[in-house]
């Protein structure tokens, strides 16, 4: 059962019951898809709609229903005909959201074709594609299949969730969460994997995986499996660090002749890729006769939240990121490893590490994974790896991804409630305030002082917690930020030299808007707002009051750096609408040529109502110095 706190936030029932029927999956995916269409104004579905106070009279005689009371949108400008949607007003991320009820369509000319109800997302997307150009219809057809995959995979993952929760409930209460840090990491990562992405409607679909592959390789099931290995001629294998770790297997261990060790290096391959497409890729790259497939597997791993980042079961502070022939968060978001990301990720890691050492607001509070070691084979994006080493501090702490904060626990509590119980004397508001100050004390200086905006989304941002309310932020996978070259080069020349050789030139930006867009769509809308919406939906405060906590934390962070110009933040808070990522449009439904997006993950529309503008600041804000206070909008 699902409590719809907002169009973007899925929250489970407090008793931990999880529906897992095909009908529920169809309704759930349909609601998320309609909300995404409205949020991104696909085909002008929001901008060109006529708002009706009640059910359209034209539908009253049809055998559909029930036609629930409330507003409807009537869109008559679509190439495929007329669309009627039951909606309700919304303030979070969009103006309208889908209200449970029939989605009704008619032919190109109203009345020319009998209106009919569409009961699933794939049928709606197929109908919306009618009348579009052939290339666009292909994109829509791909998304319709993605909708069907999301339904099927939701069923499988809900079953896995139910089984895991039952197993946890049957254990000693003291064993959940586990005592060992790596087991706790895996536990909370698994809880996070059951939680859908806040905004991409079919994020549940890992395109390329069928249900059997999910069970064998997905974090929802947390299987363990062995890596496969290729012997690659040393001349073709480009390593960023020649010294491989002690656990790296020998050629003998993977069943190869020891004489190969002198001329070949072993390269790990995900077993799914090994079995599903590797031979064809090697042939296409002209490598089929050059590399040697080892007959034996070696090194046991288990998947983390990001699916292709795998934790070594015997070396849990080491994870290995491998290419996969799956797509997530869009049909064009294929999970390869571009050679440029290996070097760029390390350069940005060095930049962040240097900033953390010199900046008092970040020092001791920002941790980074070490991702300097990686490899690729002759520039092939499907043949390579990145090693991710976690700092020693994780071994006596609890590590939880921001993506999992609102996930359900086996106990029925949300993860943030469980963390507050353990580390903050059950004070959820104290947990929130600590989290907000940590977030803004790190990201606001990066933005305003250094010209750095990170794509540190809810999966790449992790909280490290210890007894006594200690909380630190650990960031990983920092290969796709936005950096202001002028700010770094002129004000921080020593820092600039750490990143001046970046390979991906899209990282550089001169427009202040690019940094703001990253801060808004990642830090605010992914890492903060879903938590606030969940807190409000579950009785931890009024929505406006909670967003007042966000504004207050931002004000306090600005007050801690009075020498910086805080006007970009003040101006942001005064806007009626903020930028939102158009993930569905850029990642699936439209070509780069039509959107003009250089990066499909950084395509925006300024259509998200500014939730911070509504916030009513509490009296505590009056204690903030007036020259840095972010005043509440009347």
pLDDT averaged over every residue in the chain: 90
pLDDT in the model for residue 630: 41
Contact predicate 415/191, CB 8 Å: yes
| pLDDT band (50, 70, 90) for residue 570 | very high
H-run or E-run covering 268 = strand 264-269
pLDDT in the model for residue 564: 96
Instruction: Determine the longest span between alpha carbons in the chain, in angstroms.
Output: 81
The pLDDT of residue 171 is above 50: yes
The pLDDT of residue 5 is above 60: no
The pLDDT of residue 112 is above 80: no
The pLDDT of residue 57 is above 60: yes
Could you tell me the pTM of the whole model? 0.93
Q: Is 62 helix (H, G, I), strand (E, B) or coil?
A: coil
pLDDT in the model for residue 175: 66
What is the β-pairing status of strands 470-475 and 366-368?
parallel
| pLDDT band (50, 70, 90) for residue 580 | very high
H-run or E-run covering 97 = strand 96-98
CA-CA distance, 219 to 603, in Å (whole number)?
28
Q: What is the pLDDT of residues 590-620, one digit of tens each?
A: 888 888 777 778 899 999 999 998 775 443 4
Contact predicate 122/100, CB 8 Å: no
Share of the chain above pLDDT 90, in %: 79
| pLDDT band (50, 70, 90) for residue 113 | low
Question: Which residues have C-beta within 8 Å of that of residue 421, sequence separation ≥ 6?
Answer: 413
Q: What is the pLDDT of residues 374-411, one digit of tens each?
A: 999 988 889 999 999 999 999 999 999 999 999 999 99
Q: Is 287 helix (H, G, I), strand (E, B) or coil?
A: coil
Share of the chain above pLDDT 70, in %: 92
CA-CA distance, 477 to 458, in Å (whole number)?
12
pLDDT in the model for residue 173: 60
Q: Is 186 helix (H, G, I), strand (E, B) or coil?
A: helix
Q: What is the pLDDT of residues 292-333, one digit of tens each?
A: 999 999 999 999 999 999 999 999 999 999 999 888 887 777
Residue 132's CB: how many other CB atoms inside 10 A? 17
Contact predicate 468/505, CB 8 Å: no
| pLDDT band (50, 70, 90) for residue 440 | very high
């Amino acid at each position: 059962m699902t409590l719809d706190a907002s169009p973007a936030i899925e929250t489970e029932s407090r008793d931990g019951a999880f529906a897992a029927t095909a009908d529920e999956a169809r309704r759930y995916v349909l609601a998320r898809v309609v909300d995404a269409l409205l949020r991104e104004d696909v085909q002008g579905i929001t901008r060109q709609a006529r708002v009706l106070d009640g059910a359209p009279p034209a539908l009253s005689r049809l055998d559909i229903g029930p036609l629930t009371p409330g507003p409807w949108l009537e869109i008559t400008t679509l190439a495929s005909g007329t669309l009627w949607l039951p909606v309700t007003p919304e303030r979070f991320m969009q103006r309208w959201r889908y209200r449970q009820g029939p989605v009704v369509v008619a032919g190109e000319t109203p009345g020319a074709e009998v209106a009919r109800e569409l009961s699933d997302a794939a049928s709606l997307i197929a109908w919306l594609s009618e009348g579009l150009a052939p290339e666009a219809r292909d994109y829509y057809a791909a998304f319709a299949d993605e909708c069907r995959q999301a339904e099927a995979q939701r069923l499988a993952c809900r079953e896995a969730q139910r089984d895991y929760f039952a197993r946890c409930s049957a254990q000693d209460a003291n064993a959940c969460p586990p005592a060992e840090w790596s087991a706790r990491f895996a536990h909370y990562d698994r809880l996070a994997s059951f939680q859908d992405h806040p905004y991409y409607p079919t994020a549940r679909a890992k395109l390329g995986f069928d249900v059997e592959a999910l069970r064998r390789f997905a974090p929802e099931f947390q299987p363990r499996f062995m890596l496969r290995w290729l012997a690659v001629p040393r001349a073709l294998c480009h390593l960023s660090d020649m010294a491989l770790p002690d656990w790296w297997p020998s050629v003998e261990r993977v069943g190869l002749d020891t004489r190969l060790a002198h001329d070949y290096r072993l390269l790990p391959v995900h077993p799914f890729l090994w079995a599903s497409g590797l031979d064809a890729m090697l042939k296409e790259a002209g490598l089929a006769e050059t590399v040697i497939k080892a007959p034996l597997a070696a090194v046991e791993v288990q998947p983390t939240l990001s699916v292709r980042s795998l934790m070594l079961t015997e070396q849990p502070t080491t994870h290995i990121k491998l290419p996969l022939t799956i797509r997530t968060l869009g049909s064009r978001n294929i999970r390869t490893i571009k050679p440029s990301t290996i070097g760029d990720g390390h350069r940005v890691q060095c930049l962040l590490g240097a900033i953390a050492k010199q900046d008092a607001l970040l020092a001791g509070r920002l941790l980074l994974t070490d991702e300097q070691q990686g490899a690729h084979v002759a520039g092939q994006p499907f043949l390579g790896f990145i090693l991710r080493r976690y700092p020693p501090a994780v071994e006596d702490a609890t590590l939880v991804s921001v993506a999992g904060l609102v996930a359900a626990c086996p106990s029925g509590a949300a993860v943030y409630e469980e963390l507050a119980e353990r580390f903050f004397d059950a004070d959820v508001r104290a947990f929130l305030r600590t989290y907000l100050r940590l977030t803004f004390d790190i990201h606001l200086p990066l933005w305003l002082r250094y010209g750095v905006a990170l794509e540190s989304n809810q999966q790449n941002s992790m909280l490290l917690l210890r007894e006594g309310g200690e909380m630190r932020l650990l960031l990983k996978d920092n290969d796709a930020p936005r950096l202001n070259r002028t700010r770094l080069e002129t004000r921080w020349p020593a820092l600039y030299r750490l990143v001046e050789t970046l390979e991906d030139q899209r990282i550089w930006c001169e427009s202040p808007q690019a940094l703001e867009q990253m801060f808004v769509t990642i830090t605010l809308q992914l890492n903060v707002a879903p938590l606030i919406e969940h807190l409000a939906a579950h009785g931890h405060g009024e929505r406006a009051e909670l967003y007042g906590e966000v504004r207050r934390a931002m004000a306090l962070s600005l007050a801690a750096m009075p020498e910086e110009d805080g006007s970009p933040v003040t101006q942001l808070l005064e806007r009626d609408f903020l930028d939102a990522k158009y993930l569905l449009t850029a990642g699936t439904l439209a070509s780069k040529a039509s959107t003009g997006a250089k990066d499909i993950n950084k395509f925006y529309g300024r259509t998200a109502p500014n939730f911070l503008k509504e916030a009513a600041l509490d009296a505590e804000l009056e204690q903030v110095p007036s020259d840095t206070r972010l005043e509440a909008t009347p």
